[in-house]
Structure 1
Amino acid sequence: MHVPGPTLAEFGHGSIQVSGRKALGPRPLVVVLLEWADDGANGFPEISSVHPLDYYEQLAFGHPSPPFTTDPVNPAGLAEYVQECSNGRFWFTRAGVLGPEPMGLFGNPSETEHMGKVAERMAGLFPDLLHSMDVDVDSLITADELVVLVVENHRDRYPANRGTQSVPVTLGDVTKTMDLRIAFAGPFTPFYQIGHEVAHSLGAVDMYNPGTMNYLLTLMSAYSFTGNDQGTVHLDAWHKMALGWCEPGRVQLSADGSASVVEISAERPDGAVILWHPSRGATEYFLVERRNRAGGRKYDVDFPDDGVLLWHIDPSRAPMNRGAPDLSPGSSGVWRAGMRTPPLTWTDGTVAVGGIDITTGPEPGSIRLDW
């Protein structure tokens, strides 16, 4: 008797949400430029001394032609990036690029104190904008209604994403509460890290622990904090599925089987494949993703190779690529056509499949897997 496999929802499709809302359709993005006073040691250079202010307009809402560059000013564009990653299902609308606004002396605040100063300053400066973002009219301005990127002129500012911890925003005699997430960047933060922190505001999770796992395979891996460059790679297939941006195929790991994968796209949202086994159901599985740095994507040009990734999905940890040539967890190795994997194992060490042959697939640009 045929036993149906787990549904896509059971594999996590659409499970990443913010305030109960998926990242689908439009969402406003505002960029706020804040300048702390000079400390006499050049620790707080004026933002315009590092980038012309139009740089941030272009970085947030531009439509650049590759190659992306910091100087001359032609940065990668956040709005265009998320629209491409989501296969056109999610996009940022322009809420504004505001500032630079003076902040006084930085001092030596704790992270909580610093967050409070920034949030209170925003509430005081932009009450009209913030009130207008309360689209469900519940007197709360939340991260599913507005995405915020704050760029500070702190030379050593490391990228981060923090919650505002319920700050009142008063406009006239009406007070609402700002309960947002804020992505933070400094003047030298590269696009990769800015995108990484903004993605946290959509619910994305880190995929670099421990250390530098999955490097250059997903936006949620580690990257330089101060490279001031325009390196770009897509989000991984697991995030795209969990955000509701793609629908992988599902193939059971029977004794002998095969699957074919193509690059995930608006035309082929089913391009990736879940390899699952009845003994594990949807609790542990492999997600095979086709990637190619020379493929049709504008924002995946720093992906390291041409082949497939074998994402191991296990609830005990963040997804890890089981990389070539030895299936090391978190390796950046890409499985190219002509390679064969060693036996693929589950987390407990038992064998999932004796090995997978990776070959050129039947469709243009596709990769076939046989086991």
Structure 2
Amino acid sequence: MYDFVFHNPTKIIFGPDREREIGRELKDAAVGRVLLVYGRSSVKQSGLLARVSDALKAEGIEFFEHGGVVSNPVLSHVREGIALVRQNRVEAVLAVGGGSVLDEAKAIAVGVVAEVDVWEFFTGREVTAALPVFTVLTLAASGSEMNGNAVITNEETRQKYNIGTSHVYPRVSILNPELTHTVSPEYSAYGAVDAIAHLIEAYFTKQPGTNLQDRLVEGLILTIMENAETIRDQPDHAQARASMMWAATLALNGLTPAGVGPYTFPNHMIEHSLSALYDIPHGAGLAVVIPAWMQWYRPQNPGQFQRFASQIFGLHDGEEGIVALKKWFSSLNCPTTLQEAGIAAADIPLIRDNAYDTAKLWEVDKLYPPESIEEILQLATR
């Protein structure tokens, strides 16, 4: 184990019907005016928005709605939310939805207290303050409910960049697994892929010698796979939905990489270009990138890939493990090649250049020069 600091300030409230407690949590935090951020129609049709609104009204909390968040949240809509907050002197931001809604809420929380445009924080400026963020989660995937990360797409420049700061860890996140029962089979599958991606980034690129963290990762991956298969076959399986929701949260709340030393996030680096350029679901893009990256990277860490194959699939060869994971993605009806995702191989130079811009921003451009990114993308055509 390497030296580390682990601090996660988010309070998790987990269980059926717990969204009705959000009003009391905001009141306890001395919040009287809140921006209510959500997506499109699903939270209204399900009755969730009404329940949350009633919980706020019951505690005398004034709220202002900011709906219409899209699956890859965009900068222009973030700016609209910032203007709404400033106009109404809002004291906190409440996100009701999946990871995209939570990410936009965090971006608004950062931008509203800044004297510069919010996009500057996604291109390198340090975040020093933010409004408090609260969440009611409806999708098991991003882990945004218990971390300080947010990803936004600048639709004008076609760049998908992130922030990572302790200032946007949610104060309280409410996780009612029953809210995920109606998530479509496609997005349930994409959520599972996203959670697995969060786990394997550090698992494969970290320093050796952290067996405890490896076991945490492997246990979570096995849990995610088992429950994703159950959800595929029985979408309203209560225990599977609950286990998936908590596993996805644990996959990116800082627990599994604690003490592993330096690591990188190459799969996300490349996938951000796919969803920025083609607006495909993040999990679908990851299902394309991960097997290709694994094939490219395996010679740099063959022992860990052999361990992955053994612990996850009971196989003895690292290459077989990669093939097995790709087949598993396919079993959930996820695309595993660029073509299956509707992306032409002729676009690889465009994707390469876009991803290399992210590599430079993340300071991993020496590890991932343009030619290496192109090699990975070529592997994603097979």
Q: Which has the higher strand share?
A: 1
Q: Greater Rg, structure 1 or structure 2? A: 1
Q: Which has the higher helix share?
A: 2
The two structures have a TM-score, normalised by structure 2, of 0.31
